[in-house]
């Protein structure tokens, strides 16, 4: 499945987000709520070719110990993500 995402991104002429963008979005997500220090975050961009999709989505996974992993989708590329986008997605 990861290869399919990479193929779609390549086919659409999109580049992979840089480490700085990933870390910036993780930091914004961590700051959005009081998470336990051992909470892990994963941030990915997904290119969707379905006409119902916005094109590029950023997905934030929050993995807290003892809780189910939560996924939040934001309908914009990672490099355009703002603190407000994350607060809106988290319902803050």
pTM for this predicted structure: 0.78
> Would you give per-residue pLDDT tens digits along the chain (92 residues)?
444 444 444 445 556 788 999 999 999 999 999 999 999 999 999 887 778 777 889 999 999 999 999 999 999 999 999 999 999 999 96
* 37 neighbors 69 (Cβ within 8 angstroms): no
3-state secondary structure of 13: coil
Give the total residue count for the chain.
Answer: 92
Domain ranges of the chain: 2-90
Enumerate residues 6+ apart whose C-beta is below 8 A from 73: 57, 58, 59, 89
């Amino acid at each position: 499945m990861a290869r399919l995402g990479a193929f779609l991104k390549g086919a659409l002429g999109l580049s992979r987000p840089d480490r700085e963008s990933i870390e910036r979005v993780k930091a914004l997500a961590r700051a959005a709520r009081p998470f336990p220090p051992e909470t892990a975050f994963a941030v990915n961009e997904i290119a969707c070719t379905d006409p119902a999709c916005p094109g590029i989505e950023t997905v934030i996974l929050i993995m807290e110990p003892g809780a189910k992993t939560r996924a939040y989708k934001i309908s914009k590329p990672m490099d355009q993500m703002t603190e407000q986008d994350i607060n809106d997605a988290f319902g803050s």
